């Protein structure tokens, strides 16, 4: 599994790996596919890394090494090129396996004294949502408001709500229950988790998991496993276009 090659050839193999990975990163940034893999805050760093990689590769190639022979490991090289094989042959694919159990957990925490908090230090979109009679969860404030809805559900009881999301439900769920969710990315695709609401909807069983829906309904509070959480009494699930970005990225 190992043989002797010149040190220059070995250096070029190293440079090829860096070039390959940098090209993949450039492709992701240019096509916008990077959003499927990492949080947008990484995009400038990725672009900077690609530039730095180019300089590194040039320096590695220009550098004159000794002409002596060196033994080199094919296994190490194969290992290096496995990510490149994945990178240039597959499309990003995220499917959540867990159904609605994780939906609450991603957004919720132990609740504070409900409906009694001052608004000091609370973001303006959250204050607006608390005061408004109808809550619209757009992409920019989806997680921020959803988080407050779980932390302080009493503020939202009985309000109208609208959001765009996908449907999750288990085959074992009652026919009138499902969840309306978005996937939350805080760092990279490996930490994606669904966030959203349990919904009561008479035709829940007919909804298609692969489609996007505009969900409209009324927020009701329910006690599940000892926790008071907001659920949506849905009036309608209308098919909708895929949002501009599939995932929700909390601002950090």
Partner 1 sequence: MIEKYFGTQRLPKKNLRYIIVPAALILSVLAMSTSSASLAEYDLSFLAQFGTFFLSILIQAFPFLLAGTLLSSIIGEFVPRHAMEHLLGKSPIIAVPASIVCAFLFPVCDCASVPVAARLADKNVPPAAVVTFMLASPIINPVVILSTMYAFPEHRSFVWSRIAIGILVPVLAGLIIQKFLSHSGVGILSPKDNEHHAHDETGCACGHCEHDHDETHADSNASFVSRIARTLAHTGEEFIKVSPYIIVGAAVSASIQTALPKDVFASFGGGTGIAVQTLIMMGAAFLLSVCSTSDAFIARGFLFSFAPAPIIAFITAGPMIDIKNVLMMTPYFRKRFIVLLASLIFILVFISIMILSMTVFGGVE
38 is a contact residue toward partner 1 (CB under 8 A):
yes
Tokens of 27: 């492709």
- Taking the CB of residue 104, how many other CB atoms lie within 10 A of it? 21
Q: Angle 74-89/7-31 helices, nearest 10 degrees? A: 20
Report if residue 26 touches partner 1, rule: CB under 8 A: no
Nearest to 146 by CA among 241, 219, 200, 39: 219
61 or 134, CB closer to partner 1?
A: 61
Of 140, 133, 215, 142, the residue nearest 178 (C-alpha): 215
Give the number of residues in contact with partner 1, rule: CB under 8 A. 86
DSSP, res 38: B
According to CB under 8 A, which one of 27, 70, 162, 243 is a site residue for partner 1?
70
For position 65 contacting partner 1 by CB under 8 A, the verdict is yes
What is the footprint of partner 1 within residues 127-186 (CB under 8 A)?
Answer: 147, 151, 170-171, 184, 186
Instruction: Compute the least distance from the CB of residue 239 to partner 1, in Å.
Output: 21
Q: Which of 188, 203, 206, 240 touches partner 1 by CB under 8 A?
A: 188
Build a one-symbol-per-residue string for 102-121: x at contacts with partner 1 by CB under 8 A, - elsewhere.
x-xxx-xxx-x---------
Given 27, 42, 160, 245, the residue binding partner 1 (CB under 8 A) = 42
| Cβ–Cβ < 8 Å for 152, 126 | no
In angstroms, what is the minimal distance from the CB of 47 to partner 1?
9
DSSP structure class, residue 190 = G
Site string for partner 1, 81-100 (x = CB under 8 A): -xx--xx--xxxxxxxxxx-
- Whether the Cβ atoms of residue 137 and residue 147 lie closer than 8 Å to each other: no
Fill in the DSSP letter of residue 152: S
């Amino acid at each position: 599994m190992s043989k002797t090659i010149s040190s220059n050839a070995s250096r070029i193999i190293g440079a090829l790996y860096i070039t390959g990975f940098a090209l993949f990163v450039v492709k992701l940034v240019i096509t916008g596919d990077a959003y499927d893999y990492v949080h947008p805050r990484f995009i400038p760093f990725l672009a900077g890394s690609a530039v730095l990689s180019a300089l590194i590769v040039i320096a590695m190639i220009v550098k004159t090494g000794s002409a002596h022979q060196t033994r080199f490991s094919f296994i190490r090289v194969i290992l290096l090129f496995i990510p490149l094989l994945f990178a240039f042959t597959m499309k990003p694919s995220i499917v959540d396996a867990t159904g609605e159990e994780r939906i609450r957990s991603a957004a919720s925490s132990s609740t504070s004294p409900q409906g009694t908090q001052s608004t000091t230090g609370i973001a303006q979109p959250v204050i607006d949502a608390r005061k408004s009679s109808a809550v619209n969860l757009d992409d920019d404030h989806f997680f921020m408001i959803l988080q407050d809805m779980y932390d302080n559900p009493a503020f939202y009881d009985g309000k109208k709500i609208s959001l765009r999301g996908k449907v999750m439900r288990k085959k074992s769920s009652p026919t009138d229950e499902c969840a309306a969710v978005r996937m939350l990315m805080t760092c990279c695709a490996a930490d994606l988790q669904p966030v959203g609401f349990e919904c009561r909807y008479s035709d829940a069983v007919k909804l298609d998991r692969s489609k996007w829906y505009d969900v409209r309904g009324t927020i009701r509070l329910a006690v599940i496993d000892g926790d008071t959480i907001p659920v949506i009494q849905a009036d309608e699930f209308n098919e909708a276009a895929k949002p501009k970005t599939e995932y929700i990225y909390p601002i950090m």
